[in-house]
Amino acid sequence: MSWPSDSPSIASRHARRLAARRGVLAIAAAILGSMLIMAGAAAAEAQKAQPAAVLPGGNSKEPINIDAAKLDYFDKEQKLVYTGNVVATQGPSKLKASVLVLYLTQKDAKAQSGVPSSSSELRRMEATGPVTVISKDQVGTGDSGIYEKAENKVYLIGNVTLTQGPNVTKGDKLIYDLTTSQAVVTGRVKSMFIPSGGAHEGAGEGAAGASGKKSSGKTP
């Protein structure tokens, strides 16, 4: 007596398994291909995007590098809070503060929220101090500082001191226009200049590019 052979059934199951595996591999390959295409597009977009100058004298082609003791990221508000001896640099310019807060916005409305990516851009920056901004041979200090992308301006507010070599100008607020590279000191302005001959002259009021009048612009 011989039992009926079940080899056709085994072969059929084996063929179905191979077909299923091929289907899974095809789907995985398609997903991987799509991911590679998306990654390539994101890299190309990141190469096209160039950071803007956010510090006086900063190089707009240079990235913004931040060093701090701690970073807290708030996804919902798209806000980054750096604390502890914060130092931000962009090209030859540097900012020092106790706390630095960055507010981001998505350039792509369809981009998903999450960790900042190439689709994020800086719209506002707030520094609390004392705050020090160094640009070449100029040093500005104040109680707080603000960068506003919509205005393309940097503000130093409260007990402002602008130093260039031996020359010193003090006021209530300093406004630096990143477009025109012009600095304006407002409030009760006091300046001291040392003549090139080396003789010491007393403090006087007023300075080139500085105004003793209250700013007519909107205070951030």
pLDDT tens for 181-212 read 899 999 999 999 888 765 544 444 443 344 44
Find the CATH number of the domain harbouring 87: 2.60.450.10
- HSE value, Cβ hemisphere, 13 Å, CA-based, for 73: 7
- HSE value, Cβ hemisphere, 13 Å, CA-based, for 65: 9
How far apart CA 17 and CA 38 sit, in angstroms, is: 32
Is 47 inside any structural domain? no
Is 27 inside any structural domain? no
- Whats the size of the chain, residue-wise? 220
Question: 159 near 139, Cβ under 8 Å?
Answer: no
Is 200 inside any structural domain? no
Mean per-residue pLDDT over the chain, rounded: 74
**Which residue segment(s) compose the domain that 76 sits in?**
64-105+117-192
User: Average of pLDDT values for 29-52?
Assistant: 41
Residues 6 or more apart whose CB falls under 8 angstroms from that of 94 comprise 55, 87, 88, 133, 134, 135
pLDDT tens for 122-136 read 899 999 989 999 988
Is 165 inside any structural domain? yes
How far apart CA 189 and CA 185 sit, in angstroms, is: 7
**Pairing, β 120-135 against β 93-106:** antiparallel
Handedness of CA 149, 152, 158, 159 (dihedral sign): positive
Element at 145 (helix H, strand E): strand 138-148
Is a pLDDT exceeding 90 seen at residue 141?
A: yes
Is 76 inside any structural domain? yes
Distance, C-alpha 33 to centroid of its chain: 32
The region of weakest confidence among 61-75, 107-121, 155-169 is: 107-121
Residues 6 or more apart whose CB falls under 8 angstroms from that of 149 comprise 52, 54, 121, 122, 123, 124
pTM of the model: 0.62
Provide the pLDDT for residue 121. 86
Of 197 and 104, which is predicted with more confidence? 104
Provide the pLDDT for residue 53. 76
pLDDT tens for 143-175 read 999 999 999 999 999 999 999 989 999 999 999
Retrieve residue 147's tokens. Answer: 């960068």
Is 57 inside any structural domain? no
User: Average of pLDDT values for 69-87?
Assistant: 94
Is 37 inside any structural domain? no
How far apart CA 218 and CA 84 sit, in angstroms, is: 30
Question: 64 near 51, Cβ under 8 Å?
Answer: yes
Domain count, the chain: 1
Provide the pLDDT for residue 39. 37
Is a pLDDT exceeding 80 seen at residue 19?
A: no
Is 75 inside any structural domain? yes
